[in-house]
Amino acid sequence: MFKKIAEKFKGDRKYFSIVFFILIVLAVSGIVTESVINRNKGNWDSILVEKISRLQGSIKNDFDVKQKRIFEKLNIVRHDLRISLKPENESYKELVKLINNESFDNYSIEVFAPNGKLIAWNQTIAINQDELFPLSFPLGETYFLSNDLLTYLSVIDTADIQSDIFYIAISTPIEEHLTLNNQYASNISFEREISEKYQIDLTIDYSPYNERIKDGRKYSFELLNLKENKIGLVSFQKPLLNNSVNLIKETSSKIQSLLVVVGLIFVGLGLNSDFKKLNSYLFRFILVLIYLVILRALIFVFGFPTNFVTGTLSDPSYFSSPFGWGIIKSPIEFLTTILFVVLIAIQFFRYTREYLYAEHKKKTNYLGIAFALFLSVVVFLLIRAISASIKSVIFDSTIRYFKEPNILPDIPALIMNMNILLLSFAVLLAIVGVINLIFKYLNVAVDKINRPLIIVVTLVIVAITSISFYLSKEPLITPFMLAIFIALLILLYYQVIIRNRYSVYNYLYVLLIGSIISISLLNYFNTKLERESLKTTTWEINRADDNLLSFMVEETLRNIQNQNKIVDVFGDRYANYDALAFKIWGKSAMQRESLNSGIRFYDKDKNLLGEYAVGLNPDDEVFNYLSSDNLIEVVEIKSKGENCGIIFRELLSLKKEE
């Protein structure tokens, strides 16, 4: 019985059965989606409770992982401390060495003697010896330790050694209170990590004293330590029915589009045996071309892979080109397109090679000669196409291909390098294919190695390519480069078509020559870009005019005004204004754009309370410009006729200080 069924699904039938099965799944998925949406709408209240409880559980788990990790480190330090402080090998040096081990890189560890004196520490000290007592939280319980710029997850515990009690404090940064836009900033944020992971609007209060939010649109729950004591509060926006329905629709449409693509691939496989029976190379190639173009177009229309792959690979800020309505609008889209191009090029190369060596001879007529001449121009057009593509790779990208210091470049640069290599590989195969056609149309017996004729035809191709180069308005490359490329192409053609046409290494030779051509083009256009960068430098110098600076300063002030937490600081006697200035500056656009800028706080007697500035050294001249009663005023200070900066004042804040 099973055998009989298996018999029915042999050969091409199995592919069409899969396609049929996919069609059924497609229809079912539509019905299932509708029913899931209706179920969501009908039971939203219970689903909401379930969703919230699941979210709460997941967030608690994530937090517990962090807590457990800190306890693991604590146990290691305690164990090390016991070994190093044994009477027979009492060595503080060893202890310091142990806690400065690489495994503790993300932790601040402090070891206190029984009298409370700090005896060993690593990196930045999170808890000073004068801050140890009174203990903020019971021993052996995690808690949040906040200072002006950072919140740590900390734990203090003891180690009993030879009847002496040593204190170990271990802390790990969990939230940085500012975000810096540079490559060195780690920008640690548990809040952001959770928000991004669960795609929710979430806030965390790192204090055990805050009460739950009473806003009905939000849900709060307590963040407990491993001893079940409250140490913080998490609040997040309750999931909305609309968003949930949209998410279901989006997921369903992604699955359906993926099914259509898979179905189309199986249709192609199913037609493969019939396709192989076709005699005409031209017809075969046209069918391959149509199939692959339709497949790529569908993949693009369904948003594949961009909708499935998030992150740097689908980010157009690394690379994007407007070619083909966006089919290469990001590194991953470029890779997808180029894979299709490579498939087409390989088939073109194979079919033209078979055609060239096919038994039947073509009669050389004027039409054939004209077509061969036209194909010689196509050779130049293909060289120009690869040049234009690599120019776009350099100019429409923010990746600096020759400035990457690492041996292994980062993922976007790696993918782009691979794209360039595949592109040159495909173009070279296409050029070899075009030359095959030229020889065929001119009826040159390449297999009989009719040297004089081959040389003459080659020279004619070289001549037409060179003439096309000189006639082209913008050939993009230099004559020297063209000469080198043509020489390499002739060598390649000789190797892969004339000398050893069926060698398995032929594709490797194409890759090798392709890499030489692509690297030289990459280098050439990169040099051009660096020359062009002088223009960008001029733009950059003139960009920050007084309008932009006023806008940024005003924006920063308005943000301060809207944040009650910051305004409240002005009532605090012990406020650290330097840290506050740094935090405000860190969140401002001035920081993001790396402008010389700073923030200063003065009290009512014009005494400086605190500041943070980069590249500026303002004096008290600022007060000469304060005259009106405006809430915010942006004033430009001119010094010796030159614009030296923008000052601001915030009367609301100053009033709080009074």
Residues that bind another protein (CB under 8 A): 181, 199, 201, 237, 240, 242-243, 315-317, 319-322, 326, 329-330, 392, 395-398, 535-536, 539-540, 543, 545, 547-548, 551, 555, 558, 589, 592-593
What lies within 8 Å, CB to CB, of 561 at 6+ separation is 567, 631, 632, 650, 652
Is the Cβ of residue 162 or residue 199 nearer to another protein in the bound state?
199
- Least Å distance, CB 416 to another protein, is 13
Can you tell me the distance from the alpha carbon of 168 to that of 117, in angstroms, rounded to the nearest whole number? Answer: 11
- Least Å distance, CB 392 to another protein, is 7
Can you tell me the distance from the alpha carbon of 656 to that of 571, in angstroms, rounded to the nearest whole number? Answer: 6
**Secondary structure tally for the chain: helices H, strands E:** 18, 12
Chain centre distance of CA 553 = 30
Is the Cβ of residue 41 or residue 656 nearer to another protein in the bound state?
41
**Sign of the torsion angle spanned by Cα atoms 211, 215, 216, 219:** negative
Q: Is 377 in contact with 463 (CB distance < 8 Å)?
A: no
Can you tell me the distance from the alpha carbon of 624 to that of 391, in angstroms, rounded to the nearest whole number? Answer: 54
Can you tell me the distance from the alpha carbon of 155 to that of 132, in angstroms, rounded to the nearest whole number? Answer: 11
Can you tell me the distance from the alpha carbon of 24 to that of 45, in angstroms, rounded to the nearest whole number? Answer: 33
Is the Cβ of residue 329 or residue 649 nearer to another protein in the bound state?
329
Q: Is 569 in contact with 656 (CB distance < 8 Å)?
A: no
Is 487 exposed, middle or buried, given 0-12, 13-18 or 19+ CB atoms closer than 10 A? Answer: exposed
Using omega within 30 degrees of 0 as the cis cutoff, is the peptide bond preceding 452 cis?
Answer: no
Is the Cβ of residue 8 or residue 558 nearer to another protein in the bound state?
558
Is the Cβ of residue 91 or residue 317 nearer to another protein in the bound state?
317
Can you tell me the distance from the alpha carbon of 240 to that of 89, in angstroms, rounded to the nearest whole number? Answer: 63
Using omega within 30 degrees of 0 as the cis cutoff, is the peptide bond preceding 305 cis?
Answer: yes
Q: Would you state the structure tokens that stand for residue 529, as one six-digit string?
A: 């870009």
Can you tell me the distance from the alpha carbon of 172 to that of 68, in angstroms, rounded to the nearest whole number? Answer: 12
- Least Å distance, CB 274 to another protein, is 40
Is the Cβ of residue 326 or residue 368 nearer to another protein in the bound state?
326
- Least Å distance, CB 19 to another protein, is 33
Is the Cβ of residue 42 or residue 322 nearer to another protein in the bound state?
322
Is the Cβ of residue 199 or residue 503 nearer to another protein in the bound state?
199
Is the Cβ of residue 114 or residue 322 nearer to another protein in the bound state?
322
In 3-state terms, the chain is what percent helix, strand and coil (to 5)?
A: 60, 15, 30
Is the Cβ of residue 103 or residue 187 nearer to another protein in the bound state?
187
Can you tell me the distance from the alpha carbon of 85 to that of 114, in angstroms, rounded to the nearest whole number? Answer: 13
- Least Å distance, CB 398 to another protein, is 6
Q: Would you state the structure tokens that stand for residue 124, as one six-digit string?
A: 């930045």
- Least Å distance, CB 556 to another protein, is 9
- Least Å distance, CB 34 to another protein, is 22
Is the Cβ of residue 162 or residue 246 nearer to another protein in the bound state?
246
- Least Å distance, CB 397 to another protein, is 7
Q: Is 424 in contact with 522 (CB distance < 8 Å)?
A: no
Bridging pattern class, strands 608-614 and 597-602: antiparallel
Residue carrying structure tokens 């992971």: 197
- Least Å distance, CB 312 to another protein, is 11
Is the Cβ of residue 199 or residue 280 nearer to another protein in the bound state?
199
> Could you write out the three-class secondary structure of 557-583?
HHHHHHCHHHHHHCCCCCCCHHHHHHH
Is the Cβ of residue 446 or residue 549 nearer to another protein in the bound state?
549
Q: Is 606 helix (H, G, I), strand (E, B) or coil?
A: coil
Bridging pattern class, strands 597-602 and 230-237: unpaired
- Least Å distance, CB 266 to another protein, is 32
- Least Å distance, CB 50 to another protein, is 19
Is the Cβ of residue 115 or residue 242 nearer to another protein in the bound state?
242
Q: Is 427 in contact with 515 (CB distance < 8 Å)?
A: no
- The DSSP result for 367-394, as a single string, is HHHHHHHHHHHHHHHHHHHHHHHHHHHH
- Least Å distance, CB 71 to another protein, is 34
Bridging pattern class, strands 108-112 and 118-121: antiparallel
- Least Å distance, CB 317 to another protein, is 5
Is the Cβ of residue 242 or residue 607 nearer to another protein in the bound state?
242
Name the DSSP class of 144.
Answer: E
Is the Cβ of residue 319 or residue 439 nearer to another protein in the bound state?
319
What lies within 8 Å, CB to CB, of 599 at 6+ separation is 556, 581, 584, 585, 588, 611, 612, 613
Find the helix or strand (DSSP H, E) in which 235 lies. strand 230-237
Q: Is 417 in contact with 451 (CB distance < 8 Å)?
A: no
Can you tell me the distance from the alpha carbon of 9 to that of 39, in angstroms, rounded to the nearest whole number? Answer: 38
- Least Å distance, CB 229 to another protein, is 32
- Least Å distance, CB 419 to another protein, is 15
- Least Å distance, CB 578 to another protein, is 24
